[in-house]
Amino acid sequence: MSASTLRRKLRQRLAGGPIVAAPGVYDAYGARLVEQAGFEAVYLTGNGVSASLLGRPDVGLVDLTMITGHAHRVAAAVGIPLICDADTGYGNAVNVRRTVEEFEAAGIAAIHLEDQASPKRCGQLPGARPVIGLSEAVGKIEAAVAARSDPDFVIIARTDSAEGQGLDEAIRRAQTFRKAGADVCFVELKSSPSILDDLKRVTSSVDAPCLVNMSAGGALEGLDAGTIERLGVRIAIYPGLARAAAGFAIREALAALKHDGNTKALRNRMLTLAEYNEVLGLDEVEEWERRYLR
């Protein structure tokens, strides 16, 4: 399926139907698992990519070339829309133009751009995030909209202002980003006793499809997709899913190997070689070999 078709499919889903749930991954292997589990979209987390490619926290160390090269390989591995973290756009409005061009060329369906000041930090790390002025942030969203060659490429405007400047300011920014042409708005929230009420305020105040980061945790954590949808959300991303699950499983497996000298005790919690090859589509490769190798 072409990138333009996948973008159009995602845009149509934003307009109607059940909420879009996009599990977070950091590589193509994880993306294939998401698709095979029956999800309609997949999310490439910048935090996970930083961990996977650099083994370092998400503090602005991944650059445009690194993320788009990686995203291209992930998008090529699946037939569902890929939503990507594009950080701050890697600079000013001029840089944002190239950012959009590169993500489009990589076959991505949607990106989110945040209003953090550089160097950025993961929104779920402790502490408030400094943000750029509203005028500059709006200019970057306008530049992103103007830069796309495919009108179905989805621009998601994210604000990290709620923690430091209050929810009213975050809502004001989201409303302004929508007027600037953003297709989806994303107010980054952190776990708090009021997080559900805050989310309701966002979705009822912003005239745009809204995205929620389910890694914020707290009262969000136990909600199913239908409940999240009733809060007014159109896209739910789960950035920490693959990186947290894989890290836990790998650490347990290593501990067992260290303790027992083998992995026998883990066999019922590991993919067999046949299952692993099925995830990767080995049968398709072998069929191609039968047809064309002479």
**Tens digit of pLDDT at every position of the chain (294 positions):** 899 999 999 999 999 999 999 999 999 999 999 999 999 999 999 999 999 999 999 888 999 999 999 999 999 999 999 999 999 999 999 999 999 999 999 999 999 999 999 878 776 666 677 999 999 999 999 999 999 999 999 999 999 999 899 999 999 999 999 999 999 999 999 888 889 999 999 999 999 999 999 988 788 888 999 999 999 999 999 999 999 999 999 999 999 999 999 999 999 999 999 999 999 999 999 999 999 998
Peptide bond into 126 cis (omega under 30): no
Same domain, 213 and 269: no
Same domain for 141 and 71: yes
Secondary structure of 55-90 in HEC code, one letter for each residue: CCCCCCCCCHHHHHHHHHHHHHCCCCCEEEECCCCC
Residue 27 annotated to the active site: no
- Same-domain pairing of 208 and 282: no
Options 7, 27, 102, 122, the catalytic residue: 122
Match 């400047």 to its residue by tokens. Answer: 165
- b/e string for 111-126 if b means 16 or more Cβ within 10 A? bbbbbbeeebbbbbee
Catalytic residue among 27, 35, 87, 163: 87
Tell me: do 77 and 133 sit in the same domain: yes
Among this protein's residues, is 188 annotated catalytic? yes
27, 102, 188, 198: which is the annotated catalytic residue?
188
Assess whether 65 and 119 both reside in one domain. Answer: yes
Q: How many domains in the chain?
A: 2
CATH code of residue 195:
3.20.20.60
Is residue 262 domain-shared with residue 239, that is, in the same domain?
no
My answer on whether 122 and 206 are in the same domain is yes
| Boundaries of domain holding 257 | 253-292
Catalytic residue of the set 85, 102, 152, 183 = 85
26 part of the active site: no
What pTM was computed for the model? 0.95
Same domain, 78 and 51: yes
d(CA 294, CA 292): 6
